[in-house]
A and B are shown apart, each in its own frame.
Chain A
Amino acid sequence: ETGVTQTPRHLVMGMTNKKSLKCEQHLGHNAMYWYKQSAKKPLELMFVYNFKEQTENNSVPSRFSPECPNSSHLFLHLHTLQPEDSALYLCASSQERVGTEAFFGQGTRLTVV
């Protein structure tokens, strides 16, 4: 059982839908991340939150909107996605100190139809 939990595990949505991915960590960490994993491509960092403040937005399209209400929860709100946005979305958390390892959830497999 991982200390980082993501829901849902699988999601199929139409291009006009609005949905949200949820991530919760039970590790007492203060930094949380969203990564995107597409087929045949390296994992891409999307967003970084440190103590609930967004510290990094890696040129992500505005159809992806993150929200971090507290250090334990992270959301990724999705709207008007494209089929190329289909991927595995991974949430991670770490201590706020630079150089520490990140712990990942099992991901949400997103399919946009």
Chain B
Amino acid sequence: AQKVTQAQTEISVVEKEDVTLDCVYETRDTTYYLFWYKQPPSGELVFLIRRNSFDEQNEISGRYSWNFQKSTSSFNFTITASQVVDSAVYFCALLNSGYALNFGKGTSLLVTP
């Protein structure tokens, strides 16, 4: 069985604070893919990153960084110096074989001025 847990339902930070969104996954497969998506109020899910299970290298893209640790089955997402425009719901997702993304329940991030 595969499962994605995002334990943080809602997070509120003040602008310029750093914030980490947690994602823990469960899978028995050795080959799998992990994703993060952002859903702003407009509704569409915006793709942020994909990692495959053989690549544990952390990644940084501007203010965004991702920490993938197979030992703890975690794929955490950090936003540095948060901005109001970062306010959205963020989803972590797992893909094994096939095409079906398994999403977590999402973390709602509110960044206030």
* Residues on A facing B (Cβ under 8 Å): 2, 4, 31, 33, 40-43, 45, 48, 50, 55-56, 58, 88, 90, 92, 94, 98-107, 109
Contact = CB atoms under 8 A, between A and B. Distances in A.
B95 A103 contact: no
Contacts of A100: 50
Contacts of A107: 43-44
Contact of B45 (A48, A99, A104): A104
A98 B42 CA distance: 28
Given A45-B100, A98-B98, 13 more contacts: A42-B102, A42-B104, A45-B101, A48-B100, A55-B99, A90-B43, A90-B45, A92-B45, A98-B95, A99-B50, A100-B50, A107-B43, A109-B43
Interface of B: 4, 33, 35, 37, 42-47, 50, 52, 91, 95, 97-106
A33 B98 CA distance: 12
Contacts of B98: 48, 55-56, 98
Nearest to A45: B100
A42 to B, nearest CB: 5
Contacts of A56: 98-100
B83 to A, nearest CB: 22
